[in-house]
Chain A
Amino acid sequence: ILNVEQSPQSLHVQEGDSTNFTCSFPSSNFYALHWYRWETAKSPEALFVMTLNGDEKKKGRISATLNTKEGYSYLYIKGSQPEDSATYLCAFDAGNMLTFGGGTRLMVKP
């Protein structure tokens, strides 16, 4: 059983705050690390697929970094907005299936 951990489980921030959360995963059999955003009553939406150690990806105010040697990835949100409120999931990709972490639930207060 693969252990994919996310922290914190939930996070409350004020509009305009910047925030980050962590995904830790096995450092062996690594193929890719995925980040998804899951808003209530919607489908999970892919944010990033990361493969290379040291990789950094950015989409608007959201960015992510990857360290495959130590087995962690950070997701950063700059200047949080209420519409960023969602659960952010990371998933470890061993080449065929995804193993998801438990998610970080972000709530941004206006």
Chain B
Amino acid sequence: GAGVSQSPSNKVTEKGKDVELRCDPISGHTALYWYRQSLGQGLEFLIYFQGNSAPDKSGLPSDRFSAERTGGSVSTLTIQRTQQEDSAVYLCASSETSGGSPYEQYFGPGTRLTVT
């Protein structure tokens, strides 16, 4: 079956512009997660969704970052007024649920964002 997909795979944008990153989770997965990996850093949690709601937004680095999920499926991560420090690989993952038994998270291929 289809895995997690993300688009675009690469995005180069100018400082100050807004960008939208998209994630299509595995069908039927109710939990969806966003992470990022900046150069030389580990994976950093940003936000997760259980269904369409985001119980934990604590990982979003600033109020320029927002995310939404509609229909319990596709999610969009939006970065407004991008800064050079936003350059990173943004990874999306999905799992069967969050809470209850711990499930494996399945990761997408990532979006490499470069802010010039």
Which A residues have a C-beta under 8 Å from some C-beta of B? Answer: 31-32, 34, 36, 42-46, 49, 51, 89, 91, 93, 95-103
| Alpha-carbon gap, A97 to B3, bound state (A) | 20
Stretch at the interface among B20-28, B65-73, B95-103: B95-103
A94 to chain B, nearest CB (A): 10
The answer to whether A93 touches B99 (Cβ under 8 A) is no
Q: Within 8 Å CB of B104, what residues of A?
A: 34, 46, 49
Which B residues have a C-beta under 8 Å from some C-beta of A? Answer: 3-4, 33, 35, 41-45, 48, 55-56, 59, 91, 93, 98-99, 102-110
Q: Within 8 Å CB of A101, what residues of B?
A: 42
| Alpha-carbon gap, A102 to B3, bound state (A) | 25
The answer to whether A96 touches B98 (Cβ under 8 A) is yes
- The one of A43, A51, A89 in contact with B102, judged by C-beta atoms closer than 8 angstroms, is A51
8 smallest beta-carbon distances between A and B, as pairs:
A32-B102, A46-B104, A100-B43, A43-B107, A102-B42, A44-B107, A97-B45, A100-B42
